[in-house]
Structure 1
Amino acid sequence: MKKLVFSAMCLLFFSLPGARAESAPAYKTWNEITAEMTRILDSSYELYLLGDVESGKQAVNRAYFEFYEKLGVERAVLSYISGKRAATVEYQFAEVKRLMTESASGQEVRASLNTLARMLKEDADQLDGKKETPWGVFVASLLILLREGIEAILVVAAIAAYLIRSGNKRLTGLVYGSAVAAIVMSALLAVALQKLFSISGASQEMLEGFTMLLAVAVLFFVSNWMVSKAESIAWKKYIEDKIALAATTGSTVALAAASFLAVFREGAETILFYQALLADTREHMDMLWLGFAAACLCLVVVFAAVRFGSLHIPLRPFFIGTSILMYVMAVSFAGGGFKELQEADVVSVTPVSGIITVDILGIYPTVETLLPQAVMLVLAIVSFLFYTRRGAASEKAASE
């Protein structure tokens, strides 16, 4: 089944019709793209000065969604500069719109637009200065899949290991099947985003954001369920009462849903990133494929380490460790989900100084992303302590 998952990824990432041809940019350099973006941003300022705030914000959104995202600037910055830089630029877009919404002075809006234009120019200069090299293409391809896939593979592997440790190995097919279904759905969504529907960039961000927040709820439920079974008495009772996972519909659905959502949440965007990389790569196409294959191999190694390594861990530490991993993923997804909604203009952006961006943990320097993470962290700690103490009390009572 694991081979099926990765074969499906390889097939669907690159078999979308017209992936290379239709993704080809109309611009020859990154500076040409950012110059057009700057022109659009200048027009947004003129609209703002005329009192048309909404049209001004729409122009900013056009520069972001139709150029920064669609033409692969974001992907290039993520691959060749850093994730932190990409997040900084994204929040500068949001800062411009925030100032417009709050009816800031023209001078403030102009200064913010100048900062954004300078960032775009700096990144374009750096990207244009990078000649296409074999290892550059390899690393870009490797990082796209690793960055987007590592969290998903950890969730899927942890759930599969849990099922095996609980004596429900036959249900791992449901988890793997959910992951494959998520890949297929991601491919269909990528096609829809490019061909079938006029889905705006904001709508895509909203879909990703709400998917991640749904995943938060599912992961939190699964985490609580796992940690509640960590004590040997609780687990023995669970087995003796024959409340096998196959008969526990809610738990079975939750585990399958967690697998599906972990893969689906960034699947379509990952495919679109690869399509952009295919279009941008003029030479060294073999290194692009090699980078993709290396990323798949890395994910297989991570999967195997969690899936098979867990068999040698005592039951209680395994259940507790797995539940902690799920809690961490839930906290990470909470930050990432609200960030996507910020990009879609559904949630406001209130910057927080002194906080650095940690993309892999979903940490971003805004009140709206940090607050739900803080709430989730408190809930996770309270839930963990409640279930572990209750389990310990049950163990003590049973031994007396």
Structure 2
Amino acid sequence: MLAPFLIMLREGIEAALVTGIIASYLKQTGRGAFLPVIWVGVLLAVALSLFAGAALQLMAAEFPQKAQELFEAIIGFVAVVVLVSMVFWMRRAARSIKGELHGAIDAAMRAPNGATWALIGMTFFAVGREGLESVFFLLAVFQQSPGAVAPAGALLGVLVAVALGYALYRGGIRLDLKRFFRWTGIFILVVAAGLAAASLRSLHEAGVWNVLQARVYDLSDTLPVSSVLGTVLSGVFNYQEAPTVGEAGLYVLFLVVTLTLFLKPERPAFLRPAVSGTEKG
């Protein structure tokens, strides 16, 4: 429940942050009459995400067992790519997203007879991106963790994100977004590592991946997945009681590479070498 909750909380806050920036700028610049247009874009994006999720789920239900395992593996790896891109995109864009959105709004308002459609498109693509990212992650998680716990966590995360987003827009709370995105980013990369290992296991069950199948360890007697702690670790970090060499190797390699890149300090702009011509004399 914790993993779906935190990831949907982060996705929801990202969408709410973008929507809030657009709404605040419209209000500050005397364009409040366009605020209802934003909700049209949000609702269209939500509808697209729900439709995409339902279509993928129905399509998977028609597959035979081996094909279902392969489909789960593909969805899992897509979810891993989506989660990693989300984490690194926000790390890179956090500093400039406000200014870029303000510039895009000004450009949209200058469009002849197209301001409404331009604003709908901005909101639709911003929220739709987060929604489609969520669809792939939730499909992967629901396939790995059947039952009502994961959907309940995801729904709770969305509800909390909506409440926090509204409070941020109204100015009722102050949230250290840099710290929030940093710590949730680390957690998401750990979750993505577990999804990658689980997807590799699905490839094996589909008959596609059949190497590195020796067991690294076997804790089925000490800490089985069926125990309370094992269930929690499995739901949050995709813990396996007897992982293979391939699964454990992918998990460790994934974390080493992504966490090293994510935690690497960014070079300040004034330290970056300027591009200039050389003088000859």
- The one-character-per-residue Cα deviations of 1:273-311 (angstroms, maximum 9, x if unpaired) are 77xx7xxxxxxxxxx8xx999768734542334323444
Q: More displaced, 210-219 or 302-311? A: 302-311
Q: Highest CA radius of gyration, 1 or 2?
A: 1
Does structure 1 conserve the Cα–Cα contact (< 8 Å) formed by 2:13 and 2:165? Answer: yes
- Look up the match of 1:341: 200
Q: Which runs of 5+ in 1 are unaligned?
A: 1-145, 278-287, 394-400
1:163 to partner: Cα distance: 0.8
- Look up the match of 2:251: 369
- Look up the match of 1:156: 11
Query: Structure 2 CA distance, aligned partners of 1:220 and 1:368?
Result: 19
Which fold has the larger relative contact order, with Cα–Cα distance below 8 Å and residues 6 or more apart in sequence? 2
- Look up the match of 2:79: 212
- Look up the match of 1:198: 64
Using structure 2 for the length normalisation, give the TM-score.
0.57
- Look up the match of 1:183: 50
Alignment equivalent of 2:160, drawn from 302, 318, 329 = 302
Query: Structure 2 CA distance, aligned partners of 1:374 and 1:292?
Result: 27
Using structure 1 for the length normalisation, give the TM-score.
0.43
- Correspondence list, 1:224-263, <5 A: 224-229=91-96, 238=100, 242-244=103-105, 256-263=128-135
- Look up the match of 1:264: 136
Alignment equivalent of 1:386, drawn from 257, 266, 270 = 266
Match for 1:374: what amino acid? V
- Look up the match of 1:360: 236
The share of aligned pairs that are identical, in percent, is 16
| Secondary structure of the structure 1 residue equivalent to 2:195 | helix
- The one-character-per-residue Cα deviations of 1:59-112 (angstroms, maximum 9, x if unpaired) are xxxxxxxxxxxxxxxxxxxxxxxxxxxxxxxxxxxxxxxxxxxxxxxxxxxxxx
Query: Structure 2 CA distance, aligned partners of 1:342 and 1:157?
Result: 30
Q: Which runs of 5+ in 2 are unaligned?
A: 25-36, 109-120, 224-229, 273-281
- Correspondence list, 1:64-213, <5 A: 146=1, 149-167=4-22, 174=41, 177-195=44-62, 197-198=63-64, 200=66, 201-213=68-80
Distance 1:224 1:308, change over 3 A: same
1:371 to partner: Cα distance: 1.5
Does structure 2 conserve the Cα–Cα contact (< 8 Å) formed by 1:226 and 1:319? Answer: no
Match for 1:298: what amino acid? L
Query: Structure 2 CA distance, aligned partners of 1:246 and 1:199?
Result: 51
Does structure 2 conserve the Cα–Cα contact (< 8 Å) formed by 1:182 and 1:263? Answer: yes
1:168 to partner: Cα distance: 5.1
1:215 to partner: Cα distance: 0.8
| Secondary structure of the structure 2 residue equivalent to 1:266 | helix
Instruction: Return the structure number with greater helix share.
Output: 1
Distance 1:294 1:371, change over 3 A: closer
Does structure 2 conserve the Cα–Cα contact (< 8 Å) formed by 1:163 and 1:171? Answer: no
Query: Structure 1 CA distance, aligned partners of 2:180 and 2:212?
Result: 35
1:321 to partner: Cα distance: 2.2
1:340 to partner: Cα distance: 1.5
